[in-house]
Amino acid sequence: MRYFLHLAYNGTNYCGWQIQPHSPSVQETINTVLSKLLGEKIDITGAGRTDSGVHASCYYAHFDSEKNISLKDLKYKLNRMLPNDIVIYSVFPVSDSLHARFSAVSRTYTYTITTIKNPFAIETEYYFPTELNIDSMNKAAEQLIGEQDFTSFSKLHTDVNNNICTVTKAEWVSVDNKLIFTISANRFLRNMVRSIVGTLIDVGKGKTSIEDFSKILASKNRQNAGQSIPACGLSLCNIEYPQI
């Protein structure tokens, strides 16, 4: 029987979602607790990687077990045993064909910049007091929409077959003292959102023109793009499946 976990986590204390040697990961932390509760070795499969320090306010993972599981009790016990920076919202049965990673049709990330120093938000927002031109940033972000090669915004030497992604939304909004960037796509590359945001910040500062941003995207050269900004402001906030 296949089960889905709907969860969230603050990624500050983790090397990312995926298990890494000698560093704590979200995946390994849940594996350990779930295996102990079910009395069998469980290896959960997540919706995708998140890098070190990146958060997820909405995340899905699946695991298989033939045991008779009380889902209400399992959720309760998981939340009792997991650290406070990981929460399980629900555990529910799904079709054996539903895959947490490969069945997902869309993912959405947000990146939050704060212009006001806030010591209580240093783990979830990026403090950037410099004034930015949000209109120019949005005009540049429009160039991201559609199916394109995003090599210019990808970490080099990753284990993927291609760097083609289909972006359906890329937009900045100003809320109080925050600038929030929302981007949705069928898939994301390693470091893609953070390097896009870093390059859009250069546009907002007037360092990079909208035309230059288009050229950077078309160049398929990571060295032409801006710096990858800190992980703290990045959060995976939605994953869509056709069967959920």
Q: Which residues are catalytic?
A: 51
Half-sphere exposure (Cβ direction) of 90: Cα atoms closer than 13 Å: 7
76 in helix, strand or coil? helix
Show the 3-state SS of 9-57: ECHHHCCCCCCECCECCHHHHHHHHHHHHHCCCCCCEECCCCCCCCEEE
Instruction: Answer for the pair 204, 175: CB distance below 8 angstroms, yes or no.
Output: no
The H-or-E segment that residue 211 falls in is helix 210-219
**Which residue(s) pair with 87 in the sheet?**
8
What is the helix (H) or strand (E) element at residue 235, kind and residue range?
A: strand 234-240
User: How far are the Cα atoms of 90, 204, 241 from residue 189, in angstroms, in the given order?
Assistant: 28, 23, 19
CA dihedral sign, ordered 138, 143, 146, 147: negative
Whether 71 contacts 94, CB under 8 Å: no
Residue type, 181: F
**Residue 66: is it exposed, middle or buried by C-beta count within 10 angstroms (0-12/13-18/19+)?**
exposed
